[in-house]
Amino acid sequence: MHHFIHLEQHYCAHNYLPLPVVLNRGEGVWLWDVEGKRYLDMMSAYSAVSFGHCHPELVAVLTAQAQQLAITSRAFYSDKLGAFLRLLCEMTGQDKALPMNTGAEAVETAIKAARKWAYKRKGVPDGKAQIIVCDGNFAGRTTTLVGFSSEPQYRDGFGPFAPGFVNVPYGDAQALEAAITPHTAAFLVEPIQGEGGIIVPPEGYLAACREICTRHKVLLICDEVQTGLGRTGRLLACDHENVKPDGLILGKALGGGLLPVSAFLARLDVMDVFQPGDHGSTFGGNPLAAAVGHAALNLLRDQKLIEHAQSMGAYFMQGLRAIHHPAIRAIRGKGLLIGMELDPHLIPARRFCEELMKHGVLSKETHDTVVRFAPPLLITREQIDEALHGIRGTLYAMPAPVAHDMHHA
C-alpha cells in the first residue's frame, strides 16, 4: 500500500490530497484496495460513475468499439456520433449538441456560444458581452473558469483572468435581475451547487430565473455536469421545476464511468453561431466516446435508474436525518446527491472521511465542512443500510475534541 502512495507522491504533482487508500478494482458500487479490503463507493468519482464501476454492458460496448474504431478526429464523419447526439437531444429536449470531453471544456464551449450569440443575434457591441455567474460556483479548472470562482484558493496565483463575468449571490433571483444590463449575454448556473457544498437553492428559484432571462432576452445556461443524467432523481435537475434552459452542459456520467465525454446542448439559434473552424476538439465526439455515451443513455432509460435514484435518495436522506448527532448541522440534497454538513469544531469533515474509510465507506469532503454522499445510481436499499451503519458508527466512535480552558490560556 505505502509503496504505491510513495510512488505517486514522488512523481505526481501534489494538486490533490487523496485519502490514504490505494484502489485497484471496482464492480458496481464496490471498490477494493490492493490489500483486498472492500469499500462502498459514496463518491462515484464526483458523479461520473453513476452506472457503477465496470458496468458489464458498457465495458462490452467500449471493448467492441475499441477493437473496431476509436479516434478519427472530426475531420471525418463516423457511424456513431449522429445516433448518440440524436438520442441525447431527444432525451433533453434540445435542438443540437456540440460534443467535447471534459465538463470544463463543455463549459468553455457554452461561454463561447453565449458570447457569439450576444454579438451576432442580440446586438451586443463586440467585446462587451457579460455572463452572470453565482457565488459558490464550480465550473472547472481552466484559467477562464477559475477567474469567476469565488473560492480564493482556486484563483490564487493563476491570474490575470478574463473579464466579462459578474457574480451574484446563489439562490437570489432578484439579485440576478438587478445585475442584468443590455450587455448581458447569459446566466450560467448550477441547479444544485455540487463542489460549493451540495447547496440546494430555495424552491422556485430556477423557475424565477427562467422567467427573468426570457423577459430580458438573456440565455439561461444550466451547468448539469454533476447534477444531470438522473443524479437528482430526474433526468436533469432543472426538470424538478419544469425549466427548459437555452443551453445545457453535460459531462461526467455521460461517459459511463469509463472515459471523459461531455456536451454542450442548445436551441438552434444559439448553436448555429458556430461555423466550421470556430471551435473544435481532437477527441470530442470520437467514435469510442459516442458508442459508450449512447449505451449509457440507453441504460439510464431502460433500467429506470432515474426513478431508482429518486426513491433510494429519499430513503438515504431519511436514514441520515434519523442520526441525531450533535456534530451534524444539516442534511441537504436531491436524489442521490446528498451533503452532510458537520460542525468543524466538533468533527472536521476530512477527519470524518478518513475514519469512515476504516468502516468500509469511501467519500470525500468539500469545503472542509461537508461530506458528500453520491453513490452509483444502482445502489440498493441494503447497501444504503450498510453505508448508514458505517456513517453512524464513525460519528459515534470519533472522540469529542478537547475543550480549551480559557483560564489557563
Given this model, what pLDDT does residue 401 score?
A: 61
Do 224 and 236 meet the contact criterion of CB atoms below 8 Å apart? yes
- pLDDT (0 to 100) of residue 409: 40
Distance CA 39, CA 41 (A): 6
With beta carbons less than 8 A apart as the criterion, state whether 43 and 370 touch: no
129: amino acid identity, one letter: A
CA angle 222, 311, 240 (to 5 degrees): 25
Express each pLDDT in 69-121 by its tens digit: 999 999 999 999 999 999 999 999 999 999 999 999 999 999 999 999 999 99
Is 51 tagged catalytic?
Answer: no
The answer to whether 2-54+307-330+338-397 and 56-302 have equal CATH topology is no
Please tell me the distance from the alpha carbon of residue 30 to that of residue 375, in angstroms, as a whole number: 10
Candidates 84, 165, 246, 252; catalytic one: 252
| Claim: this prediction has a pTM higher than 0.95 | yes
Catalytically annotated residue among 51, 80, 84, 138: 138
The amino acid at 250: L
Rounded to whole angstroms, the Cα distance separating 85 from 285 reads 9
Told to judge if 138 belongs to the known catalytic residues of this protein, a careful annotator would answer: yes
Active-site residue 252, yes or no? Answer: yes
- Domain 2-54+307-330+338-397, CATH: 3.90.1150.10
Instruction: Write out residues in the chain with pLDDT < 70, as ranges.
Output: 400-409
Q: Check: CATH 3.40.640.10 for 56-302?
A: yes
Domains of the chain: which residue ranges? 2-54+307-330+338-397, 56-302
pLDDT of 367 reads 85
In angstroms, the CA 274 to CA 218 distance is 18
Q: What is the pLDDT of residues 307-334, one digit of tens each?
A: 999 999 999 999 999 999 999 999 999 9
Whether 390 and 40 have beta carbons less than 8 Å apart is answered as yes
| pLDDT value, residue 34 | 97
From 51, 80, 148, 223, the catalytic residue: 223
What pLDDT, on the 0 to 100 scale, is given for residue 400? 67
